[in-house]
Chain A
Amino acid sequence: MQRRIFSLAAAAVISVLLASGAYAADRQKIVWLQWANDAQQKAIDAVVTAFQAKYPIDIEFEFKPGSAEGENLVKTRLAANDMPDLLTYNSGSLFQVLNLEKNFVDLSKEPLAAKLLDSFKTTVAAGKGFYGIPMQPIPAGGIIYNKKVYASLGLKVPRTWKEFTSNCEKIKAAGIVPVIASYKDDWTAQLLLLADFYNVNATTPRFAADYTANKAKFATTPAALRGFEKIQEVFTKGYINKEPMSTTYDMAMAMLASGEGVHYPMATWILASINSNFPDKINDIGFFALPGDSSDKNGVTLWMPNNISIPKTSKSIVAAKKFLEFFVSAEGMAAYMSVGAPDGTFAVKGVKLPDAVFPAVRDVLAYVDANKTAPALEFLSPVKGPNLPQICVESGLALKTALECAKEYDRDVEKQAKQLMLPGW
């Protein structure tokens, strides 16, 4: 009798073990190297959950730091053939330096290829293929502003730099900070210059190509130099807040939401963060394109969304491709938008945005619908100097003249071009 109980128990244990073994074997695991604290993580988690419910594939995240630190990590892991199955990365010049044809799986033969906008695909393309799908809505760069303050002071959205400065004078006279400068996080200092690229492109359409070929420079192209001058002007005219070197991105966001500061040169990726930190203020926030010198040429500079790609060393390429297909499918996009309105349009064709998008996103869409957009320089040229943030801070605190800063940046760019071994440098 005892023996029988024992064998029954043993059989039960074994069958449980077998079942769980079979269960584990049924479900495949893929690993995704993603940024820590990504503003879009909530939406991404929703897509992952929907994907895991539909397919027997589990996705596990590995997190990497942002900016240069994370870039180093990826470069090192690529060189050591130690990449996971999915990778999130910036599109454009930063992605291009990773030697795409050698290191990533070409997606141009996949069904998803037909769904993506060409303007996005070119930023992740090399040779005949392209190597990533958009991970987030398309961010737009310009001035994020507080509509409530605009309404209370009776101001109108400026279409030229002159109108912008006269608005700033009125805001300053009212005792409010006209322009928020958060130079402690020095990457934010460059947004004013980078978002000004629509204006550069409008007056000097050949700039991006000439710049890549070492024929045009920031210091000698008046329209490009304006970017450095504008950063300096908001300082010399006293528009920016006190203590810019101690103000962080997060503090700037709080200033903007509360109306303590009115204009913040930034891109729309900030909207998701404002929405989660100050949900009652998101409807006070609007957007307008960075004003140029003439009102008929005024448009918005678009960033291209960060991308998800599949490293060639992945052992689960089929499963990873399944995920990318799912991500850009109607189902995937619906899951993405299930956690809240997206902060821009998608680079995926035929995705309908919900009616309840943020007011700032509606402002951006007006420019997109009027076809007044240009991609940021880093998506048209692989050349981007790594010291631009600090150089913009130098200009923004008037440590050097705008022209000196432009010259300094031109030299910084030269190093990058030589490192990339571009022709003409």
Chain B
Amino acid sequence: MRMWPLSTYPRYAPDWLDLHPEALIGGILEAPAAPARCAIDNLEELRGLPGVETILTASEVPCYPFTTAGQPEPEPSPYDTLILNPLSRYPGEPVALMAASSLDALYHIRQRAKITYEPWYGPLHDQHPNNVAEAVHYSSGPAAPSEADSERFKTTIHVGRVSHMQLEPHAAMCSFDEENRLVIITTTQVPYHVRRIVARALNCPVSRILVKATDVGGGFGGKQEVIVEPWVAILAVKTGKPVKMMLSRRQEFILTRTRHAATLTVESQWHGRQIREIAMSADVETGPYASHGSTVAHNMGLKSLPLYRAEAYHFNASVRYTPGPVAGAMRGYGGPQGAMAVETHLNQVAARKGLSPWCLRHKVLAQTGDALDIFTAASSFKRIHHTNLRNLLSRTRDAIGEGSPMATGEGIGLAMSMQASGVPGSELAEVSIGVDEDGSLFVKTGAIDIGQGARETLSNIIYDALQLPRGHVPISFSMGQTQDFGFDYGTYASSTTYVSGLAAYKAAGIVRRKMESLARSMMRHSELKDTPLSECWTALAHSSFYGPRRHPVMGHAVARPSDSPAPYAIAAVRLTVHDNGELVIHHIVIGVDAGKPINPRGFRGQIEGAVIQGLGYALWEELELDHSDTHVLNPSLFDYALPAPQDIPPLDIIMAQTEDPTTPLGAKSVGEVALAPIAPAIVGAIFRARGIWMRTLPITREKLWNALMAQRETVTPS
């Protein structure tokens, strides 16, 4: 399928697919327009083409509704899709699935297919006649705080769609094993959800499906969606043969998922330098299928408002079905949209009050012990802030040089963000660790290495828990292999270190206790007395298989934390806006409180990657749609602008020296938190440089130039 290897050994799904030349190649016939009812006029002719094994249309595949959002049960996302939907709701949506012996045969089908369509003018889903998938209303605190001596402020911003742009495309293969189970090899962040969702789509027991997740060559949440797997599964079922499918880059843009576009408004009421009331309303465009729309919308408010102390909080969101590509989970998961709104609002309030953004935040930042779960019922578990960020705020301010002389057109911007460490109250991870006869360890987990260094992180946790020097014995992993168990809700929501890591820590603790017990028993009768465990580890391991006890050592543990401590990021950006709209970023400082770094190199890599992705979100990236908001206009890397290495400004990372008290590891998460504050920090810096507020992302040179011109025309010299 490809001309080049992603890896020199089969590590990623496309590599595994290449090792199966016998498999049929799956493909899709795409809807040319949407919303529309599409039909293939020459279906029988296409089925007769050489090399074509099958072509399946909507009427020939199971019709059990499901959601593609990879989340645990009870799934918060509506079951609003089918393997093949009779009504095509976005251009590129599969009208038919096909399997053939060669790419040429698929090509001929696409060339010869006569697809006609009848435009659809009704609601996108009958159950939602007004195209509103969900409306959310949350409130806490007094219903109507006193208006006396108060000021009111309001900010509205708009953020567009962006693509995940992971290097590795979605790819999967489905075949049968010796027990006639369906075996799906796939690149996914959620192997157990893939198993369950495919089972639902096919209406078969989960035990009939084995998922073998590979390492993920970039996910960013895009592989928390179950997209390709039901397609290869039904093609394998219908043909009785292995079927593999890999999406092209164009398909990655048009038929996988995007970040949600949204228009957000933040209103606040202030008494001096105290927030009496802060309210966010979000109009969220989820595309023609809801996917993660509901939970992403929730997080726009829940990951941004609790950073600040207020007497009352309000959050309203409307999640609308819209034409165009489907939105879904993406790094930050609502946080970037929420931060753009709340942080820009705070910066605007500071400017109106004549305060620096640093000073205002010092006043209104949440304190240690303040509620993180601002809308949770009093009876349920409430997370709290464990950190006072003021020291980190000051260090970040000093590092960016706030207060130093500024050149013309130069400005410094500030913004903050918070995330979670796993989904609060909804995480489960199971880890098993065994000691092999040579002393090496094998670890079974449902967590996946998605490039974030999960192997290194879990290894370090295990070594530390075993009190062995890091690297003392080899550790091999079985990750995301459902036949091996090691259940895990998935590698998303920045959960691997905090949740799967905790399970690994507990399992390693069990192993250590068993090995110590074995050592004590052996030492009574040998010269090993008082030998440190690390020095007799191999001998103990061998003895556990062949010694008098004959009891191999294994540890198994489960983590299901109810807490999910928030990591924080403080971004400071120093930039210059030139008269021609050109924006030059001189320096970014990012202060991060993510607890104790378990894997320092991976920790830093996650921050750097998130900052760069945040830069793309702020300045370049946008999935452009046509005038009808339906067709993607730039589905290629030739037209979709990404940050290039030369665009990355000097970046300094300040790590808060904290240890999270809710876990023995002391570590929170770091995968997502540094992305969200970049855009609002740039917006704030532009204001301080030029006095204009850019409220729509991305801030392209053209938009900035137009804003500067508008300012020049409206500002009359005195």
Tell whether A and B belong to one assembly.
no
Q: Residues on A close to B: CB < 8 A?
A: none
Q: Residues on B close to A: CB < 8 A?
A: none
